[in-house]
């Protein structure tokens, strides 16, 4: 089993090769909490600089099976970022208006503007995942969408957007335990619906659909990262570290100050 978070473009992905329970041997739940706090301070500063610079944007895409932890990742990793410049978009069943446009229309409307960080809870990939598994469109239609998604992401990156795509990789047994916990704990029962069990029966089909998406849409301009997610604390830390590395590499700068400000007293 591989513990790699990234894989080379052109690699055929087999999710069985990646251990969803992997953790760095030097990390523990306690040390991860400490590191998350440190990362949050650094992310807040870098996010503020990105907003002030107002030249580029960052898009974090989170995909994964139900219970993989997309909401939990957002809640734990993005704390401290300015909500004025950081927006979360959740892509659910498309509306009638959205269905009357091409499949990328609603996604393009939601991408972050310059200076901002956008987080997609599910994304354009729903149209090669759930659409494929449930046969909502013919194979000839969804199979063309991989190239369309790659071209769309290339367009975004050429517009000074950095795309960070994370697949939250959870095991089938861990999903079972998390779904059961939703049923057993009254304050989590609202998150459960009977349709979750129907989706779980399609686990193998979804795994194949994800493998195809990860294989066909892992590009130099928008690579995928496979995040081991059976341990929630490790999942959060891995995404936080990736986000920090990405923003640090972007190195946003404050714009130059206006000439002649030195010596001015505000009265």
Residues whose CB is less than 8 angstroms from the CB of residue 170 and which lie 6 or more positions away in sequence, other chains included: 20, 64, 65, 67, 68, 69, 178, 229, 230
Residue 261 lies in a domain: no
How far, rounded to the nearest angstrom, does the alpha carbon of residue 208 sit from its chain's CA centroid? Answer: 19
In this predicted model, what pLDDT tens digit does every residue of 245-258 receive, in sequence order? 999 999 999 999 88
Is residue 53 pLDDT above 90, yes or no?
A: yes
Q: Give residue 80's region: left, alpha or beta (phi > 0; psi -120 to 50).
A: left
Residue 2 lies in a domain: no
- pLDDT band at 11, cuts 50/70/90? very high
Residue 30 lies in a domain: yes
For the chain, give the mean pLDDT. Answer: 95
Is residue 2 pLDDT above 70, yes or no?
A: no
CA distance 232 to 69: 7
How many structural domains are present in the chain? Answer: 1
Residue 9 lies in a domain: no
Residue 1 lies in a domain: no
Per the document, the length of the chain is: 267
Model pTM?
0.95
Is residue 60 pLDDT above 50, yes or no?
A: yes
Say which CATH number the domain at 239 has.
3.40.50.300
The whole domain housing 40 covers 15-250
In this predicted model, what pLDDT tens digit does every residue of 191-249 receive, in sequence order? 898 999 999 999 999 999 999 999 999 999 999 999 999 999 999 999 999 999 999 99
Contact predicate 162/57, CB 8 Å: yes
């Amino acid at each position: 089993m591989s513990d790699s978070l990234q894989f080379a473009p052109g690699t055929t992905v087999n999710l069985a090769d990646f251990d969803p329970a992997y953790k760095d041997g030097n990390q523990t739940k306690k040390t991860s909490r400490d590191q998350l706090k440190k990362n949050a301070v650094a992310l807040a500063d870098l996010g503020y600089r990105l907003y002030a610079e107002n030249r580029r944007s960052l898009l974090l895409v989170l995909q994964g099976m139900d219970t993989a932890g997309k909401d939990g990742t957002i809640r734990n990793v993005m704390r401290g970022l300015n909500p004025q410049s950081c927006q979360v978009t959740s892509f659910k069943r498309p509306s009638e208006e959205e269905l009357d446009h091409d499949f990328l229309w609603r996604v393009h409307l939601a991408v972050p503007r310059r200076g901002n960080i956008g987080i997609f809870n599910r994304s354009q990939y729903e149209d090669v995942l759930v659409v494929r598994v449930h046969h909502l469109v013919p194979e000839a239609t969804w199979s063309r969408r991989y190239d369309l998604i790659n071209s769309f992401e290339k367009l975004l990156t050429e517009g000074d957007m950095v795309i960070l795509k994370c697949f939250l990789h959870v095991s089938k047994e861990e999903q079972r335990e998390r779904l059961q916990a939703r049923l057993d704990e009254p304050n989590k029962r609202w998150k459960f619906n009977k349709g979750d069990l129907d989706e779980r029966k399609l686990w193998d089909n979804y795994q194949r659909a994800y493998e195809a998406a990860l294989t066909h849409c892992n590009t130099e301009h928008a690579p995928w990262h496979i995040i081991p997610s059976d341990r929630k604390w490790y999942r959060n830390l891995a995404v936080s570290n990736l986000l920090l590395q990405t923003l640090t590499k972007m190195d946003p700068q404050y714009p130059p100050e206006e000439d002649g400000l030195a010596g001015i007293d505000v009265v």
